[in-house]
A and B are shown apart, each in its own frame.
Chain A
Amino acid sequence: MNLKSIYQEVILDHNRKPRNYGTLDNANHHAVGHNPLCGDRIDLALHVEGEHIDRIAFHGESCAICKASASMMTATVKGKSRSEAETLITEFREMVVGNLDLSGPHHLGRLAVFAGVRDLPTRVKCAILPWHTLQAALNSNAIVSTETAEDSIHAASSKA
């Protein structure tokens, strides 16, 4: 699939009508992801009951790839366990940097539409920001940035 059709699919489906867009009452995990280079900002809130993510919501300002990635991510991880979410975070990250063989076993489903981003190194950060933010929220970190070392996850203070 070429990038324009990915754009059309992703944008038509998720940019105009993002899923789980808004804020969450009684969230117990929260993180903000920020890409200072383009101004993208994703504010992510989760309610985790036991091992399960039972509610999730995001809002913020971002490009279409980032917003669609956030929308599809929330739709996918809602109802999943922490460990399932961790697997998806790893697989998504590997996919957008071109290290995942999509013909092999994986759990990404429709998220595979973002594979085309690997041909655009400058846009990888846009697609991955919501997932970094999810990782941070699950780890109870408050703020992540695309412009810090170690894949952008670093500790800050905790729950919302």
Chain B
Amino acid sequence: MKIVDALLDMNTSPTPELAARYRADFPILNLKVNDKPLVYLDNAASSQMPQSVIDRLIRYQTTQHANIHRAVHYLSEIATREYETARRTLQHFINAREDREIIFTSGTTDAINLVMHGYGRKFIQSGDEIILTNLEHHSNIVPWQMLAEEKGATIRVVPINDAGELLVDEYEKLFNPRTRFVALTHVSNALGTINPIKNMIAFAHQQGVPVLIDGAQAAPHMKVDVQDLDCDFYAFSGHKLCGPTGIGILYGKAKLLESMQPFKGGGDMIVSVTFEKTTYNTIPYKFEAGTPPIAAAIGFGAAIEYLSKIGLDAIAAYEHELLNYATEQIITIPGVHIIGNTRTKVAVLSFIIDGVHPHDVGTLLNQEGIAVRTGHHCAQPIMQRFKIPATSRASFAFYNTKAEVDTLVEGIHSIQKVFS
């Protein structure tokens, strides 16, 4: 019902001023940094947490905590129930068919490594090929390189154009009878590009090749429907969706998850253990060895409830308006260049200022209380593609305001003055 309310809201006002309505939910946004109001524009690295999620964590720790799936006592039953409720919240959030298709992981990186070990090491052989793209974060490159090295498999890379868009024709040409897997980001963390993953997944499936989607940068900014996308795996992290760190999920189609070997061995992932033979548990527990971050999972669920109440479509619309507002201003500043100019992107602005190293940009903006990310954004192949060592990246959330964009623009002007 609450989601429906938000959608109805949207119909009356296509881009409601979300920041005006929800900013007060985030206590950290009242901070001052270097005596200036914090302008937090590093949301692609990690988003901030609303009071309702903080309260949920406190409530869990003060009234509900025990280990899960084990004891018969009161607290254990409560904790187990809340943990499994969080799993179902995540299931509905991405429209998975069943809750057992949601595996809690420590984050996106952990989820990708799970697929590499569980699926890749079992099914990928010497001479096989794995397709990645030039837009991947290191976390969706390195595990596959490790696998390729171990198995004698080959990595193929989908190139991008100067706007930072994948060349889909080239992608299709990379397929051959040895292609066994595609690992592809939904949204580029460094440039903000939204990839046409639905078509790319469909093409891979025509060749009988499964696809993993790195959704770390997409899930916070748009509605994700894994059944509509028909992806085989989809991974994202809680801390980029206003939740805690140390928690994320891997969605996987039940059939595939069942066919895979466990990633980590330990408690909770077994049905029975003798020294002769261990029988593994069913999914999702087969992939959740050891005591999971229970509080973080429940906090993640609370964060998803919070975002769902606002509505992902409303968030996407508002953030798009912020992006347009920021782009229009920054693009007109002489000597400033935006890297990644596709029209289909999330609210990420990667830019360089002529004659100023991005690290100096980051340090000087910090003096004004503005938090941006500077560096290669764990995506060195993108930097190599554009022949730059690094960029400065402003990434927006629905709690950011146009006034904060103005502060960023003033900050850029003031840096140019220092370096003039």
- Chain A contact residues, CB within 8 Å of chain B: 2-4, 7-8, 11, 15, 37-40, 61-65, 120, 122-123, 126
Beyond A11-B419, A37-B375, A38-B389, whether A64 also contacts B367 by CB under 8 A is: no
CB distance from A23 to the nearest CB of B (A): 22
A64 to B353, CA, bound (A): 13
Beta-carbon contact of A64 and B389 below 8 Å: no
Interface centre among B357, B375, B376, B419 (most CB of A within 10 A): B357
Q: Select which of B34, B356, B390, B419 is within 8 A of A38 by beta carbon.
A: B390
A156 to B336, CA, bound (A): 40
Beta-carbon contact of A63 and B357 below 8 Å: yes
Beta-carbon contact of A64 and B390 below 8 Å: no
Beta-carbon contact of B418 and A63 below 8 Å: no
The binding surface of chain A is classed by DSSP as helix
**Chain B residues within an 8 Å CB radius of A8:** 418
A104 to B249, CA, bound (A): 54
Beyond A39-B389, A39-B390, A63-B359, whether A7 also contacts B375 by CB under 8 A is: no
**Chain A residues within an 8 Å CB radius of B125:** none
Beta-carbon contact of A63 and B367 below 8 Å: no
Q: Assess whether B360 is interfacial by the CB under 8 Å rule.
A: yes
Q: Assess whether B29 is interfacial by the CB under 8 Å rule.
A: no
Closest to A41 in B: B389
Beta-carbon contact of B363 and A120 below 8 Å: yes
Q: Select which of B358, B363, B376, B390 is within 8 A of A7 by beta carbon.
A: B363
A37 to B358, CA, bound (A): 12
Interface centre among B34, B360, B364, B375 (most CB of A within 10 A): B360
A110 to B418, CA, bound (A): 20
Beta-carbon contact of B363 and A3 below 8 Å: yes
Nearest first, the 9 A-B pairs at minimum CB distance are: A39-B389, A63-B357, A63-B359, A64-B360, A4-B367, A63-B360, A38-B359, A8-B418, A38-B390
Beyond A8-B418, A39-B389, A39-B390, whether A3 also contacts B367 by CB under 8 A is: yes
**Chain B residues within an 8 Å CB radius of A39:** 389-390
- B residues 327-377 in Cβ contact with A at 8 Å: 356-360, 363-364, 367, 375-376
**Chain B residues within an 8 Å CB radius of A37:** 375-376
Chain B 383-398, CB-CB to A under 8 Å as 1, else 0, gives 0000001100000000
A38 to B374, CA, bound (A): 9
**Chain B residues within an 8 Å CB radius of A11:** 418-419
Beta-carbon contact of B364 and A4 below 8 Å: yes
Q: 28 pairs across A/B with beta carbons < 8 Å?
A: A2-B367, A3-B363, A3-B367, A4-B364, A4-B367, A4-B418, A7-B364, A7-B418, A11-B418, A11-B419, A15-B419, A37-B375, A38-B357, A38-B358, A38-B359, A38-B390, A39-B390, A61-B389, A63-B357, A63-B358, A63-B359, A64-B356, A65-B359, A65-B360, A65-B363, A120-B363, A123-B363, A126-B359
CB distance from B380 to the nearest CB of A (A): 9
Closest to B415 in A: A7
Closest to A3 in B: B367
CB distance from B27 to the nearest CB of A (A): 25
**Chain A residues within an 8 Å CB radius of B363:** 3, 7, 65, 120, 123
CB distance from B42 to the nearest CB of A (A): 13
A62 to B34, CA, bound (A): 26
A65 to B418, CA, bound (A): 13
**Chain B residues within an 8 Å CB radius of A123:** 359, 363
**Chain B residues within an 8 Å CB radius of A122:** 359
A40 to B34, CA, bound (A): 27
Closest to A65 in B: B360
Beta-carbon contact of B375 and A38 below 8 Å: yes
